[in-house]
Every structure is written in C-alpha cells, then in structure tokens.
Chains A and B, each alone.
Chain A
C-alpha cells in the first residue's frame, strides 16, 4: 500500500520516534510503514488515523 504518513508526520512536526511512542510500536515499524514495506494491522491503522484526525483512506491507498 502507498501512504501519506511521511507528509502527515512532517505537517505535525513529529519525529519517527515520537510517532512510534504515541502508537506504542517500534521506530522501525514507522520507518517500514513509511517506506511501504509493512502494512499495519487494522487496529494500528485506526490508531494512526485517530492520531492525525483523519480516516484510514486519507493515509493509505491501494498500491498500483
């Protein structure tokens, strides 16, 4: 899946570590999601959306 997580994170001025801490996951998890190498679980995707005040579809889109 493609995602807008790096842009959203930068808009909020958050580091990868801060986002990881807020989500309760490792920094490597955030890195892998941003690179599109790791598809998060549904609960984690919901927490991401809740954190940025948007929907899951605003963050993730199916890859080409």
Chain B
C-alpha cells in the first residue's frame, strides 16, 4: 500500500507537469462549492486502481492493456533504428534483440505514464501541484539545475586549462548522471526533512 502510494505520487508529479494548466483551469472552478464531497478526491472512488485506467475513445480500459503493446512496439522501433545505425554490425539481429529487451520495460512504463488517466489512480491527489511533494520536486529540480551549472562550468574550465580530452558523448553522459543524481538525492533529502 505504501509502495502504491509512492508510485502514485511520483506519477502525479510527472504527469502534472504536462497537465498542470488544464487541470487547474478546470478544478479551480469547483473547489468552493462543497469541499466535503470533492468528487476528485482520492477516497471513495471505487474505479480507482493501483495501475489506473486509460481512455480509449468513449470507454476506459486498464491502462496496462494498451501500454504494454505500445511499449513493446516502441522498443522494437528503437531496436530497428539502432540496427540500421550500425549498432553491433557483426551481429545486427542479436544487437537489435538486446536493445529491444533492454528498452521494453522503460518504454512500457513511458507509454503507461502517457496513457493512464491520473484520476483513476488509487491514492492520487486531485491537486498534486499544491501538495508538498510538488514543492520537494521543485526544490530538487532547482538545486539540480545549480549543481549542473557548477559541474559543467568547472568541467569546461578543467578541459580548457588541461590537456585532458573527453568525447562529447561521455561528457553529456556525465552531465546527465550528475543531474539525475542531484535531483534524486535532493528529493530524498527534502522528503526526509518533511
């Protein structure tokens, strides 16, 4: 239950970045009417499930139903692109299969995040942008941005002043890892502070 709640909160934060404007424009018109019967509230809605539901036309289906095939399709497309780009030229089929296998789970998760109706998720708050988790995320993102500025600035200075040379892809990978680690650690620290 705790893990389902954590998952729902993360999904809320990620998804709310895309739907923030639309949701606030709709829900803010209703909050003053009857707060005790908030129809968007996390409790009391029997249709809410741990993995949520997705809208397909006029009906809804479990979100995993379209997310899994779509994720596998996306992974196959990426694998095909990798094979065409010359990844593992000695054994392109094996290389493509490995890429597809590695990308399947992240692509299914990505497809689920885009397809799921957040209001159908168990434990999801109807106004995640006003929750404390949103503040934690904002603080972590702002801190990570400053960390990246410092890291990339110092790294650039080191590369200018020393004979050290690194490939662009390695440098970008380092920047990505630093950004993700910084944001993740800062979020955890914020959460522990409450």
Interface residues of A, Cβ cutoff 8 Å to B: 17-18, 20-26, 28-29, 31-33, 35, 37-38, 40-41, 43-44, 47, 50-51
B7 sits at the interface (CB 8 A): no
B40 sits at the interface (CB 8 A): yes
Residues of B within 8 A of A37 (CB): 193-194
Q: Mind listing 17 A-B residue pairs with CB under 8 Å?
A: A17-B43, A20-B125, A22-B36, A23-B130, A24-B41, A24-B127, A25-B125, A25-B128, A25-B131, A26-B9, A26-B133, A29-B131, A31-B194, A38-B132, A43-B28, A50-B32, A51-B36
Please state if A47 and B194 are interface contacts (CB–CB under 8 Å). no
A10 to chain B, nearest CB (A): 17
A15 to chain B, nearest CB (A): 10
Residues of B within 8 A of A51 (CB): 35-36
Which residue from chain B places its CB closest to the CB of A32 in the assembled complex? B132
B154 to chain A, nearest CB (A): 33
Residues of B within 8 A of A50 (CB): 31-32, 35
- With A and B bound together, what is the CA distance between A20 and B44 in angstroms? 13
Please state if B133 and A28 are interface contacts (CB–CB under 8 Å). yes
Having A29-B125, A44-B130, one finds 14 other A-B pairs with CB under 8 Å, namely: A21-B38, A22-B41, A23-B35, A23-B127, A23-B130, A25-B127, A26-B125, A26-B131, A29-B130, A35-B194, A37-B194, A38-B194, A40-B130, A43-B31
- With A and B bound together, what is the CA distance between A60 and B127 in angstroms? 21
A57 to chain B, nearest CB (A): 19
A17-B43, A31-B194 known; A24 vs B32 contact (CB < 8 Å) = no
Q: What number of B residues sit within 8 Å (CB to CB) of A?
A: 24
A43-B28, A47-B31, A50-B35 known; A24 vs B132 contact (CB < 8 Å) = no
B118 to chain A, nearest CB (A): 12
B97 sits at the interface (CB 8 A): no
Option from B36, B132, B193 in Cβ contact (under 8 Å) with A26: B132
Please state if B35 and A22 are interface contacts (CB–CB under 8 Å). yes
Residues of B within 8 A of A35 (CB): 194
- With A and B bound together, what is the CA distance between A22 and B28 in angstroms? 14
Docked complex: B15-67 residues within 8 A CB-CB of A = 27-28, 31-32, 35-36, 38, 40-44
A28-B133, A29-B131, A41-B130 known; A47 vs B43 contact (CB < 8 Å) = no
